[in-house]
């Protein structure tokens, strides 16, 4: 099982953690999220991996330049 991070806006793979011990580690910060945030950000794939939606650096820069993009869930097609 792995934790796969990908951008919620452009779909780019950001990184993967392969260490199963990290899945229960408070270092990931999942325990700091509300139940609603966890449902929005963390998905469990049929492949057995955990998929985490984040924002990549490129999209973060675009959001800083145009804050109105925050209103859209997926603005890069």
Say what the pTM is.
0.77
Asked if pLDDT for residue 11 goes beyond 60, the answer is yes
- Read off the pLDDT of residues 20-65 as tens digits, 9 standing for 90 and up: 666 556 777 888 889 999 899 999 889 888 899 999 999 999 889 9
Q: Which residue ranges make up each domain of the chain?
A: 2-69
Distances in whole angstroms, Cα of residue 15 to Cα of each of 35, 36, 68: 24, 23, 27
Do 50 and 44 form a contact (C-beta atoms < 8 A)?
Answer: yes
Asked if pLDDT for residue 77 goes beyond 60, the answer is no
User: Residue 31: what pLDDT?
Assistant: 81
Please give the average per-residue pLDDT across 4-32, as a whole number: 81
Query: DSSP code of 76?
Result: -
């Amino acid at each position: 099982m792995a934790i796969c991070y990908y951008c919620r806006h452009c779909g780019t793979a950001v990184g993967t953690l392969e260490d199963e011990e990290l899945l229960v580690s408070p270092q990931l910060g999942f325990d700091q999220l509300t139940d609603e945030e966890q449902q929005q950000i963390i998905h469990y794939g049929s492949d057995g991996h955990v998929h985490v939606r984040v924002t990549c650096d490129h999209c973060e820069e675009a959001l800083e330049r145009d804050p109105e993009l925050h209103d859209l869930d997926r603005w890069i097609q």
